Chains A and B, each alone.
Chain A
Amino acid sequence: MSAPVVTELLDEGTVAEIAEQAWAALVGEEEVLVPLPGEPPTDPVSSWVEVVGPWTGAVVLTCGRDTAEQLARALLGEHAPEVVDGEDVVDALGELANVVGGNVKALLPAPSVLGLPEVGAAPSPGSPADTCRVDLLWRGQPLTISVQGCALDLTEENGVSL
């Protein structure tokens, strides 16, 4: 039996709903994600978690670096240190990908394993048919969440027997 593609498993509306719930709880109740595409950021940064299972790929969050810093401040809220440093930004962006990814994984076929969050240049996407992408605006800034099949077979690399 061939591996499923993600567009058979979930749709853009579901991914957007998961992101909205994560934003409301973590970033702020008043924080709204608008389902509109914006101009791609000139200085993009991505955070992602890998999912390895019957469907293998990654849940990737991409935004501009300024947006990432604003996200970190909003997420930490009253618990923010006086100076939000680069490590705080990487950590916060990774945690957002982790929360969105964990909830996406719950909708994918089991058993699946969620990886630890990573931050950097986005992993290469797989085929468009195996990608579910939502373009959003947060505080007027573009932000993309992509659930994308992996071009590589991660199963053996991660030692997961499926």
Chain B
Amino acid sequence: MRALVIDDSRAMRRIVSGTLEGFGYETRQAGHGQEALDVLHEGWVPELCTIDWNMPVMDGLEFVSAVRANPAWRAVTLVMVTSESEHGQIVRALAAGAHEYVLKPFTADALHDKLALLGLLPQEVAR
């Protein structure tokens, strides 16, 4: 399985990528939404995108809307991983087309559980 980790924080990209690789994912990283769209346009279309909200150039919500506007990317699961914890923001992200919402700070177990709920864990790490 493939995952694209989108976050303007290099540290957070490393942490999320490392965690997903531990779950068996092949990962790529992008520092903002536009960079992530470029990866998708390249043809590297993952099963999962983890998306920060506040980023320069193109934020997470704009990215979600752009992905959902393209039928070719309908199968991509979009998970917001963000410190934006206001209820209204969560509703906005889900309304725009995100499947799930993980609040920072999060643990590897919390991410594991969300992915398990979505059926997005390789068989050998699903428990």
Contact = CB atoms under 8 A, between A and B. Distances in A.
A80 B10 CA distance: 11
Nearest to A112: B86
Contacts, number: 70
Interface stretch (A71-79, A120-128, A131-139, A151-159): A71-79
Interface of B: 8-12, 14-15, 17-18, 54-56, 82-86, 88, 104-107
Given A88-B10, A95-B11, A106 B105 contact: no
B86 A25 contact: no
Contact of A21 (B12, B18, B55, B105): B105
Nearest to B52: A98
A9 interface: no
- Secondary structure type dominating chain B contacts: loop
A103 interface: yes
B83 A72 contact: no
B10 to A, nearest CB: 5
Contact of A72 (B11, B18, B84, B85): B11
Given A102-B84, A112-B86, 8 more contacts: A26-B15, A75-B11, A79-B18, A87-B10, A94-B9, A98-B104, A99-B104, A117-B9
Contacts of B55: 116
Contact of B11 (A92, A105, A112, A115): A92
B71 to A, nearest CB: 32
